[in-house]
Chain A
Amino acid sequence: MNLTTTYMGLKLRNPLVMSACQALSEEVDNIKRAEDAGASAVVLYSLFEEQLRADAEELNERTTAGTESFAESLTYFPEPSAYHLGPEGYLKHVQKAKAAVKIPIIASLNGCSLGGWTDFAKKIEQAGADALELNIYWIPADMDLPGTAVEQVYFNILKAVKGAVKIPVSVKLSARFSNIANVVKKLDDAGANGFSLFNRFYQPDIDLDTLEVKPKILLSTPHAMRLPLRWVAILRGRIKASLAGTGGIHSAEDVIKMLMAGADITMLCSALLKHGIPYFHTIETEMVRWMEEHEYESVKQMQGSMSQIECPDPSTFERAQYVRAVTTYRPA
């Protein structure tokens, strides 16, 4: 069975890629384990520029608090001659990951300033990453900010990064745009090599015991896949960049569906957190079995076969399908 696929020009042995997640890729051993289990590439957890900046500010504040106030304790900490406040740790991790496995390593960058995006992107490239995923995670809460301005930020970041590095660059997008297709088209025109659809914004929750708003991370469920499935299907064949389906992929069937919709690869996270990294192997085995049973020869054969362009009824991905669904639904 030929499972190979190409993502942003990277030749992959199958379409199963480990998604960016600290718990999954923080340890090089896990990356190795993913390779051993059959993953064709790994997207490393994100480097958060914002976190680095916050850490530096916190360090400055915490090491100076209470100093020079009392004669016996003019400081409270030794003062090392140097701190590692930049992305050195992450870059070292990229290097270690590259050295440990043969599969491509895709770094992930989550920045908060234009300088950070480009500077860190260059450093990541120098560290040996095969590609870079830009995780643009922004919740614009300013009521005076028009949608076009929000989109412009995305374009600016991509252009800046593309101008700085030679390795392929993908953009991980949220689905929260007035016209996601238009945004993707413009990013595609601006040189994006790939899109990861979609980013999941962690939604805050209310703790009724403490009456506090708390971030609560929920693992995805299979039905979360429906949203990327639709947009992958709509975009397939209409843009130059590769497509990665991410979010809600929990089984071989999910992978197959996403590939049929048009994804070049699928990214897994929650399923791995739930079942463990060796789950790659299970999915691959089941995928092969399904493909054999249904007489598919390769992944390429099925990729995009159910996209909006290729499917029997293109309207099913649009409003008509919605009208049909709501008018015919009856509770079981």
Chain B
Amino acid sequence: MSQRKFITMDGNEAVANVAVRVNEVIAIYPITPSSNMGEWADQWASEGMKNIWGTIPSVVEMQSEGGASGAIHGALQTGSLACTFTASQGLLLMIPNMYKIAGELTPTVFHVTARCIASHALSIFGDHSDVMAIRQTGWGMLSSNSVQEAHDFALIAQAATLESRVPFLHFFDGFRTSHEVAKMEMLTEDDMRAMIDYEQVLAHRQRALSPDRPVLRGTAQNPDVFFQARETVNPFYAKVAGITQKAMDKFSKIVGRQYHLFDYVGAPDAERVIVAMGSGCEAAHEAVEHMIKQGEKVGLVKVRLFRPFEAKHFIAALPASVKSIAVLDRTKEPGGAGEPLYQDCITAAHEEGRSLKIVGGRYGLSSKEFTPAMVKAVFDNLKTAQPKNHFTIGINEDVTHSSLDYDPSYTTESPKVVSALFYGLGADGTVGANKNSIKIIGENTNNSAQGYFVYDSKKSGAMTVSHLRFGPEQIRSTYLVTQANFVACHQTVFLERYDMLQFTKPGGVFLLNAPWSADDAWNHLPRPTQQQILDKKLKFYVIDAIKVAKESGMGGRINTVMQVCFFAISGVLPKDEAIEQIKHSIKKTYGKKGEDVVAMNLKAVDNTLSNLHEVKVPAAVTSKVELLPAVSPTAPKFVREVLGEIVATRGDLIPVSKFPVDGTFPTATTQYEKRNIALDIPVWDPATCIQCGKCVMVCPHATIRGKVFDAAVLAKAPATFKCADARDPEWKKTAMKFTIQVAPEDCTGCGLCIDACPAKNKAQTKLKAINMASQPPIRQTEAANWDFFLSIPEMDRRRIKVGSIPQQQLQRSLFEFSGACSGCGETPYVKLASQLFGDRMIVANATGCSSIYGGNLPTTPWAQDINGRGPAWSNSLFEDNAEFGLGYRLTIDKLKEFADELVAALAPKIGEQLVDAIVKADQKDEAGIYEQRVRVAELKGKLTRLQQEGDATAKTLATQLLGVADYLVKKSVWIMGGDGWAYDIGFGGLDHVLASGRNVNLLVLDTEVYSNTGGQCSKATPRSAVAKFAAGGKPLGKKDLGMIAMSYGNVYVASVAMGARDEHTLRAFIEAESYDGPSIIIAYSHCIAHGINMATGMQNQKAAVASGQWLLYRYDPRRTAEGQNPLQLDSRKPTMPVEQYLLMENRFKMLTKSNPDAAKELFKLAQDDVNKRLAFYEYLAARPAAGTKPEQPAAPVQPATPAA
């Protein structure tokens, strides 16, 4: 028997480690928080890792979870050991197959990171609403509560399913367990072989479909027999509990850890018991042990096997002394008699004749904290004469008053535990360093170690909080650190906004990264921070980590520096030993990335200690500076009281009554959240500017804008406000002024605008018309200028020629300051649509990056114009977005038709002239829409009068028409999403919507990868790209979605790349929207998942087009009617080889480093792909239109403005 090792890893890796070793076929699809399991499986398979029987599992990515479950169903039916991983909506998509797999008594284990199901809102976080939604499918359900248990149960489930033939769902809590990094004992392959009875594997193979012994499975049955046949499985279900316990016992003999179907912990004479499943049990376990020491008679039943629910075993697990039970469910079943586990317990007690007081409660939805303080409150509730039933715990439910009060200061953490909190930025490497520290401590000492990481809802400038615990005993604290011995603030900017020390223990240590000396640091702290240092008698250290990192060649990554500081002053390990370990770990971690990377990290270690200084803390508070408000004090009440509190990280404290009841939130709220995340921002030079509008167009966050205005408004301008005479002949005629203004507190400093700027300073060519400058010195003046800029009236949209970028970019963006990555390649397209059509736009947004930066709380970037109009936005699902958007269109068309009918019916009352104008209105341009709005306003006035003065029929019709009159004004339906939606999971629906002939606009933000879930391969991924699920480089070419759409003949199709030809993009958007039928724009979007310099992402777009990798074209069915070829190929002949473009992006280039031979081969094939595709498109574009004389090949579009 090989030796088992203690390793630190997260729950996903722990489970994948088992699953990959005991399976032969694995079908995967990304969904948070389970994606990592599939990623591990794919990577290990690509690296040749074998299962315990010596063969490499076949890992295949599917187009959806529905597809994955179907593939697994088929694989199982033909006799392989097969599994998949999923969560949440993905699990819901598997339900139909799960019924089949169970009905056919097929052994398999699906590993699920239990996650919230979207209802009033989507949430990626953990609870049991997904697993509870499949409890009726006939699967065994095994729940694990910690990283170690998840690892163990993955194997136990496999053993149990093979023997019982009942498929198993093994679930563990999303994020809390799947992403917690913990020290655990790793099972060996010998352990796994010992647990799996190969006879049962052979039996499974024997049952498989084979033409060598043909059978038929999957019949259709009628009323005469279905019922009886369905009951045949009963004996198998009757044995599941026994088989599972047997597997647990066998596991105990082999490994030493004993589990039971229901594990009881607590006082043998307990009177009050909590019943729960999942990671919450660990917190409850810790609390119970603590309370027992205080003399309380309490206990806990951890439900392991939830299905089949064995009443006898459950009741047997309870001490005879138990009088009352609180059953905790991590799910909500509105309208039910209670949540599922509660109902099972009631039934069990009743059936077993045990008289108990049983109450149920909900906790922990969407990873809501569940702490010992809450456990105590639940036990206290049971103490009362009339315990509250159907309670909630952990929130303030002040509407129906279901919540239990609890004392947040109650703590049960062992004093032997050292806990630490680290506040960092994603980009500074804090989380990575902390994961490394856990490894160092966990794998080099006898201490237990735990790390949990909390991330921001924004993708740029995001704060990360690392919660670390170390201690000699097992750590069961499955909740955030609130009593830290050590707190580190890795970013100085956090000090002004967040209460850094609220969770520090008295006598603890505070480490600050700041550019200040030890003598000066105190003076920069806000008053509340100084106060806490004094009150809690904290030790205070400061280091200029950025300076140390820069001097060591690490740029802005301060991870190693701060890690050294942590070990140097926290006392977790002896300093010298810790530093040796850090160095060892650096060599191990970075060794494969080259000597220089190792050397700079080692240099950073050596440079750190001499720069770390303890600050002498004065006797009294000296600062008068308070923390900044989370949102502007001028923001509306709801923004201040709800959204602002979320921004301030106090969302947990907001009571239920403050929330909208149906998930409806106001738009245009990002404007109140001044994030100040840019170190440098663009500054405009009016003398150099040629007023082309390109900077405004490419800005992903709408933080650089232009306006043309009457000089008279300058009277109130701040002294530093800049403007120039407008250059456009149209504006010049009336001597108008032009300005470009940056929103200094919203800009992310990405630099795309600078890169796009074509104007150079003639005397100093290193300068352009916009140049980066340090933000802090100009923050206040530019903020004042921005406020003034906002007060300048917008240009009348009717005066703007939308086909000209310099003019069009004067249209106000109705998508601003989103949480997208700095330099995002998608948002410029979204923003462009909002500028062109925002005031009449309704958006269906597929789940993905765009739904997250567009719809993640706290604040929303979709904005409103001066008239209060703007895009209305919603997200249904990932897989149904096209259909969802089509639904918008159906309503709009129907209600427009109804309104037309009502208008006609009321014509005599309204007046024929107005009716005629309304019904025949031409709304093709801004002026037409404007005039129709005026008419509809007049109509509404008349209808209001009719409601009061008309006859009964007129009153009824007027009331009806008032309800639908707004539909008389044009509405623009936009269906947006990424390539994962359009090419894969939503393709069937997208295809159907294209075929519907309805007037919808589909915008595919094609990053060629599942960006939001971390870069998994999609069918849009080009050949040779390295992506997750394609770790060895994608062997096949990209799907040609545009060609598929064109095959309908009546669909407007455009393929665009803003960075390559911005005026082409603009033209395509205008044409698509104007087409009275389905339109699809496939927009090349550079992405952080490409491994590129995001500041020059538009250059990557340009290179993609210049190499022919991405084609620019437009297919307009209207041209057919005019006797022209509908396809216009707008790309010029490639001017660079594809390889030159590929080597610009890490997604391709890394293959040359990970598998040079494959890279060489695939790069050649990639060039072939380009050549063939171009030749085919050239052929299509050159074909004569039907019924016409042969025409010349379509001429490329000539740029109206200089190319960026």
Contact = CB atoms under 8 A, between A and B. Distances in A.
Interface residues of B, number: 60
Given A60-B593, A71-B175, A76 B1091 contact: yes
Interface stretch (B410-418, B513-521, B747-755, B1146-1154): B1146-1154
Given A66-B426, A82-B592, A55 B1153 contact: yes
B492 to A, nearest CB: 18
A118 B1096 CA distance: 37
A80 interface: yes
Contact of A83 (B593, B1013, B1027): B593
A68 B1031 CA distance: 20
A69 B592 contact: no
Interface stretch (B143-151, B456-464, B715-723, B797-805): B456-464
A286 interface: no
A84 interface: yes
Interface in B975-1023: 1011-1015
Interface in B1138-1181: 1146-1147, 1149-1150, 1152-1154, 1156
B160 interface: no
Contact of A85 (B592, B1094, B1146): B592
Given A62-B1091, A76-B1089, A68 B592 contact: no
Nearest to A72: B32
Contacts of B1149: 55, 58-59
Contacts of A145: none
B1088 A60 contact: no
Contact of B594 (A60, A77, A89): A60
B916 interface: no
Given A57-B597, A72-B1013, A78 B426 contact: no
Nearest to A88: B1156
A131 B1149 CA distance: 31
Contacts of A142: none
B597 A72 contact: no
Contacts of B852: 72
B1153 A69 contact: no
B580 interface: no
Most buried by B among A52, A60, A89: A60
Nearest to A61: B555
A57 B1088 contact: no
Nearest to B1154: A80
B1156 A68 contact: no
B1014 A76 contact: yes
A68 B1014 contact: no
A217 interface: no
Contacts of A84: 1152-1154, 1156
B332 interface: no
A53 B596 contact: yes
B429 A64 contact: yes
A165 interface: no
Given A63-B1146, A73-B1012, A77-B1150, A68 B430 contact: yes
A150 interface: no
Contacts of A66: 426-427, 459, 821, 1088-1089
B760 A72 contact: no
A299 B431 CA distance: 69
A62 B594 contact: no
B467 interface: no
Contacts of B453: 68
Given A66-B821, A73-B1011, A85 B32 contact: no
A75 B455 CA distance: 13
Nearest to B601: A60
A67 interface: yes
B590 interface: yes
A79 B1149 CA distance: 14
Contact of A53 (B425, B456, B594): B594
Contacts of B590: 60
B197 interface: no
Given A73-B1014, A211-B765, A83 B1153 contact: yes
Given A57-B597, A60-B594, A62-B1146, A69 B1015 contact: no
B209 interface: no
B1146 A69 contact: no
A70 B594 contact: no
A79 B430 contact: no
A59 B32 contact: no
Contacts of B1156: 84, 88-89
Interface string B27-50: 000001101000100110011000
A203 interface: no
Nearest to A55: B1153
Contact of B593 (A70, A74, A85): A85
Contacts of A65: 427, 1088, 1091, 1094
Contact of A72 (B425, B432, B1012): B1012
Contacts of A71: 32-33, 124, 175, 179, 455
A81 interface: yes
Interface residues of A, number: 37
Most buried by A among B590, B1027, B1089: B1089
Interface string B396-439: 00000000000000000000000000000111011110000000
B459 A69 contact: yes
Contact of A73 (B594, B595, B1026, B1089): B1089
Nearest to B460: A69
B737 interface: no
Contact of B760 (A52, A57, A73, A211): A211
A3 interface: no
A78 B1026 contact: yes
A119 to B, nearest CB: 10
A241 to B, nearest CB: 33
Nearest to B1153: A83
Contacts of A89: 1156
B725 to A, nearest CB: 24
Contacts of A74: 431, 1014
Contacts of A68: 426, 429-432, 453, 464
B1088 A76 contact: yes
A56 interface: yes
A19 to B, nearest CB: 23
B1013 A78 contact: no
A72 B594 CA distance: 28
A83 B1014 contact: no
B1028 interface: yes
B431 to A, nearest CB: 4
Given A64-B429, A66-B821, A76-B1014, A83 B592 contact: yes
Nearest to B1087: A76
A83 B429 CA distance: 21
Contacts of A83: 592-594, 1150, 1153-1154
A69 B456 CA distance: 7
B678 interface: no
Nearest to B427: A69
A57 B1015 contact: no
Contacts of B1091: 62-63, 65, 76-77
A56 B597 contact: yes
Contacts of B47: 80-81
B1092 interface: yes
A59 B590 CA distance: 11
Given A58-B1146, A63-B593, A76-B1091, 14 more contacts: A56-B595, A59-B1149, A70-B456, A71-B32, A72-B35, A72-B1013, A72-B1014, A73-B1011, A78-B42, A78-B1026, A80-B47, A80-B1154, A85-B594, A212-B765
24 contacts: A59-B593, A59-B1146, A59-B1149, A60-B597, A61-B555, A62-B1146, A63-B593, A64-B429, A66-B1088, A68-B429, A68-B432, A69-B462, A70-B455, A71-B175, A71-B455, A73-B1011, A73-B1012, A77-B1015, A77-B1089, A77-B1146, A78-B42, A80-B1150, A81-B592, A85-B1153
Top-4 shortest CB links A-B = A69-B426, A56-B594, A62-B1146, A68-B431
